[in-house]
Amino acid sequence: MAAVSNIVAGIRARLHERYGDNCLRLAHQHLLAASTVADVRKALARLGVRIADEEFATLEARGDAAALAADIVGKLSPRRHTVVGEAWRRLKAVCGMETACTIGAVHALFDPSRFQAVQTGHKTVDQYVQEMQELFSDESNPDGLVTQDEFVAFYGGVSMGIAQDVDFERHVLRAWNLDKPQVATRDELMATATTVPKSKAGREHPLYQPSSTAIGKNLDQAFDVPRSHNRAGAFTKHAPRPQPSSGLNTASTRSKVI
């Protein structure tokens, strides 16, 4: 098994060197129909990755083409798979499909403007956008759809070039604006603004009454308080007159004039 793992690791490395981020997506597409180890070898040869005879003999001894193809495509770690799943749910919400999304939606939602390479000036937004449009195109996807497995395989290739989990998560979150608060659309805002409250207290609020004439109709009752609690004395003419203090010795405070 160690020999097989080393061969698979070498195949993955050569694919990544040749195709970069798109390497495992291409492997997924080409190896999907392989039914024998020989088919896997031919598919890899079409991708420009040749397997030596001794390596092929080791792989063929295993005899499981599906398992070999799965090993080459590989799997994301649980942590990385989680963030890719969040990105797919974002696409799924727009497309309304479970296991596929339109190429147009992928292009429209992809946003590389905050990628580290863009911020450092090593790459431009237009370059990233063009690459994405070339990766997922009518030529590569004639049916106009990107499947979930293909999307995950693509990020498997991206993952190979990013060592730290936190950097990979940041890259995916920024690509699909998952780290930004979701802004409601105009239709969503209008629907919320025109929705009448369902609770009784909400419906009885004056702002939801059919006419503004009802607002303030109970104000007189609000000030109808007992006489004993009215505000008599609150004005100057009703204020009690000040009384001289009995403790003040006025005699001692007079100055004697000589």
Delimit the domains of the chain by residue range: 2-73, 78-175
pLDDT above 80: residue 238: no
Quickly state the pLDDT bin for 240 (edges 50, 70, 90). low
pLDDT computed for residue 62 by the predictor: 86
CB-based burial of residue 149 (10 Å sphere; 0-12 exposed, 13-18 middle, 19+ buried)? middle
The stretch 194-207 carries a mean pLDDT of 52
Quickly state the pLDDT bin for 180 (edges 50, 70, 90). confident
Percent of the chain beyond pLDDT 70? 69
- Among 92, 40, 96, 98, smallest CA distance to 70 is for 40
DSSP H stretches of helix in the chain: 2-19, 23-31, 37-46, 53-62, 65-73, 78-95, 103-109, 116-119, 125-135, 148-160, 165-175, 186-193, 200-203, 219-222, 250-253
Length of the chain: 258
- Among 73, 86, 46, smallest CA distance to 149 is for 73
The stretch 17-31 carries a mean pLDDT of 96
The stretch 190-212 carries a mean pLDDT of 53
Whole-structure pTM value = 0.68
pLDDT above 60: residue 18: yes
pLDDT computed for residue 258 by the predictor: 46
The stretch 239-247 carries a mean pLDDT of 61
The stretch 39-51 carries a mean pLDDT of 97
Q: Give per-residue pLDDT as tens, 124-144.
A: 999 999 999 999 999 999 999
pLDDT computed for residue 67 by the predictor: 94
Which positions ≥6 away from 64 have C-beta within 8 Å? 37
pLDDT above 80: residue 247: no
CATH assignment of 78-175?
A: 1.10.238.10
Q: Which amino acid is at 181?
A: P
Q: Beta-carbon neighbour count of residue 123 at 10 Å?
A: 15
The stretch 107-122 carries a mean pLDDT of 96
DSSP H stretches of helix in 142-217: 148-160, 165-175, 186-193, 200-203
- Please measure the distance between the N-terminal and C-terminal CA atoms of the chain and give it in whole angstroms: 125
The stretch 99-106 carries a mean pLDDT of 96
